[in-house]
Homo-oligomer: A and B are copies of this chain.
Amino acid sequence: MKSSLKQIASELNLSTAAVSKALNDYPDISKNTKKRVNTYVKKIGYQPNTHARFLRTKKSQTIALILPNTTDSLLSTIAEDILVKAEYLGYNILVSCSKESEEIEKRLVNRFLQQKVDGIIMSLSSTTSDYSHLVDIQSNTTTLVLFNTTARTVNCNRVYLNDKEAALNATNHLIANGCSQIAHFRGPLTPQNSIDRYLGYREALNSSKLPFDSEKILLAEKGNAEEGYTLAKTLYNKKITIDGLFCFNDALALGAMRFFNEKGVKIPKDISIMGFGNSNISAYSSPSLSTVDHEISTMGAKIMEVFLDEEQSKKENEEIVVKKILLKNKVIARESTLK
C-alpha cells in the first residue's frame, strides 16, 4: 500500500541508500541492481515522496502562477497551456489570484518565496506600481518570468505583446478605413501594456497628422463588456462625435458595440470599432469584431521555455541571461471596420 525506499529496500535485501542511488542512476550501483530496483518499483507503482525529497534537495518541482484574475480570456488561455506543459514536465503548478490588488500580489509573492517554489510565473496586477517584490524574487534565486502585464523597469524575464506596435497597427487600420476622429477606451493607468497601447494609438494619430483630443480618451478600470457599454454611453451623451473607436480589449469593444447597436448607430458605417486580443467570441458578434491577434497559442510554451532555460543555467552554474520575448501581432479585419 504505502511504499517508501525503506520498504523497497527490505523487500529487495538492499539498503535504502542503494535503492535511492539506483533510482537516481548513480554510477556506484551495479547494472543488475538498478534493473532489479527499477522493475520492482514499476510493479508496485512507487513514487517518491516529494516533501521528503524537498527537505534534502530544496527542489520542489513546483512553480507558482500568479494571475490578476482567471476569467480574462487571454489569461485563461495562457494558463491552460502552462498547466498542460508543466504537467508533462512533471512540475506542479500552484495557482493564485491577486484580484488585481498590489497588496495581495505582494503577499502571495512573499508566501511563495517562503515556501521555496522553484519559480514564479506572473502577470502583474493592474494596480501594481512598486516592483520591490520582483527584486526580492530575484535576490532569492527564485526564477521569475513575467508575462502579458509586465514591468519595464525591472530587468527580468518577460514574455509579452508588442503592445505599442499592435495598437499602432490597430489604429492605422481604422485610419486606413477612413476614420479620422478616433476615440480610445484605454486600460488602467499603471500597467505597462495599457500605457503602451495608448502610446501606440497616439503615435498612429501623430504619423497621420490627425489631431489628438483628450476628450476622446476614456479610462476603463475593469475592462469588461459592462464597462464598454457604459463608456460608450458616456461618449454618446456628451455628444462627442467620433467615427472610430479603438478599445483596450475585445470585451470593452463588444460592450460598446452593443450600446451603439441599441442606439441605431451603424457599425461600421457611422463608427468603426477595433478590439484587441482576438478573443473566442469576437468573430461571432454582430457585426463581427475587428481586432488584433497575437499568437497567444505559443505564449504558454514560450513562457515555460524561458523558465526551463533559467533553471538549466542555474543547474549548470552558467551565467544567467535575462530573456525578453516579444510576440508578433496581426490585425484581423472583420465587419466592424470594413465599410
A contact residues vs B (CB 8 Å cutoff): 45, 47, 49-52, 54-55, 60, 65, 69-71, 73, 76-77, 79-80, 83-84, 87, 92-97, 99, 104, 108, 110-111, 114-116, 224-226, 228-229, 251, 254-255, 257-258, 261-262, 280-281, 283-286, 288
Min CB–CB distance A159 → chain B (angstroms): 18
Closest Cβ of chain B to A291, distance in Å, is 14
Task: Determine how many copies of this chain the complex contains.
Answer: 2
- Please determine whether B96 and A93 come into contact, CB atoms closer than 8 angstroms: yes
Q: Which of A69, A96, A99, A111 has the most CB of B within 10 A?
A: A96
> Roughly how many angstroms separate A116 CA and B104 CA in the complex, as a whole number?
28
User: 24 A-B contacts, Cβ less than 8 Å apart?
Assistant: A45-B114, A49-B116, A50-B115, A51-B51, A51-B55, A51-B116, A65-B95, A69-B80, A70-B79, A71-B76, A71-B280, A83-B95, A83-B96, A84-B97, A87-B97, A92-B94, A92-B115, A94-B94, A225-B284, A254-B281, A254-B285, A258-B284, A258-B288, A281-B281
A322 and B110 CA atoms in complex are apart in Å by 36
Contacts known (A55-B55, A87-B96); A70 close to B60, Cβ less than 8 A: no
Decide yes or no: A258 and B285 within 8 Å by CB, A60-B51, A93-B95, A94-B93 being known contacts: yes
In the complex, the answer to whether A285 meets B286 with C-beta atoms within 8 Å is: yes
A95 CA to B91 CA, complexed, in Å: 11
Question: What residue in chain B is nearest A250 (Cβ atoms)?
Answer: B281
The docked-state distance in angstroms from the alpha carbon of A79 to that of B69 is: 10
